[in-house]
Structure 1
């Protein structure tokens, strides 16, 4: 007989999901800090537009970080809070291009692409685990971030 966690999902499948979500949490945490850097250090002709957009981005990322950590807890595991672990595990790397708007947006698009790949894997894994909660979360993130990629890409083509 399968072992079920407190919300009625297979414990083994939930563990696999929490591992994937932990990796996602690491990537979001580094992306969040990069977005703060873009916001704080941007300068040039587009300062007023990009300063505001970067603030919107990091506020949105902060909400998602909390949701991912809470989902890990809901599935019966503990999220890491150690930034050293985030740095080790994340495919998104710390940015050094934080004052150049063009470079910042290019890095944002690249980071969103990384998240989209990871979230699509979690979406498939959550389907297999009959985990509607994680599935809905990933589906919402994917839809929102696909639009952001389009919008940031359109900005670069100005």
Structure 2
């Protein structure tokens, strides 16, 4: 069994790249959902949520790039066609949502799914001695756990 240029087993990087590509697909769909919430939000909380959604989608866009670059670092190709994202993503498209509570509920559901998937990637990265992927997932999880608490608090749950 051969190692990659970063010293990881080829079979481990293949499995991690697949998991990261699935995560990337979920991030891309989630990103587009949040962009739509930002564009279409209406109501008395418009100003507050419009800004909050923009903060979130800017953060998601950075993470999309980091995940794709991690796949490349592992020696594999990131998915980059939207049709592939739709096929691989567990997060579904959220269309025509303009109600703030409904948008925040969708964000909570999507982010919960991301955290769960990232824990799976984190465990696989640890098993493969892939500190780079593990550190990335650990950072995302800790950031998103706090964000989830805040979004859930907004909903009163």
Whether the TM-score (by the shorter chain) exceeds 0.5 is yes
Do the aligned partners of 1:122 and 1:138 also contact (CA within 8 Å) in 2?
A: yes
Aligned to 2:28: 29
Do the aligned partners of 1:97 and 1:103 also contact (CA within 8 Å) in 2?
A: no
Cα displacement (A) at 1:98: 2.2
Q: Tell me, yes or no, if structure 1 residue 113 matches structure 2 residue 105.
A: no
**SS class of match (2:119):** helix
Q: Which runs of 5+ in 1 are unaligned?
A: none
Tell me the distance in 2 between the aligned counterparts of 1:9 and 1:114: 28
> Which of structure 1's runs of 4+ aligned residues deviate more than 6 A?
none
Over aligned residues, Cα RMSD in angstroms?
A: 0.9
Aligned to 1:124: 123
Do the aligned partners of 1:97 and 1:104 also contact (CA within 8 Å) in 2?
A: no
Aligned to 2:83: 84
Cα displacement (A) at 1:97: 4.7
Q: Tell me, yes or no, if structure 1 residue 100 matches structure 2 residue 99.
A: yes
How many residue pairs match? The answer is 157
TM score, norm. by length of structure 1: 0.97
Cα displacement (A) at 1:146: 0.4
Aligned to 2:57: 58
Cα displacement (A) at 1:88: 1.0
Q: Which runs of 5+ in 2 are unaligned?
A: none
Cα displacement (A) at 1:122: 0.3
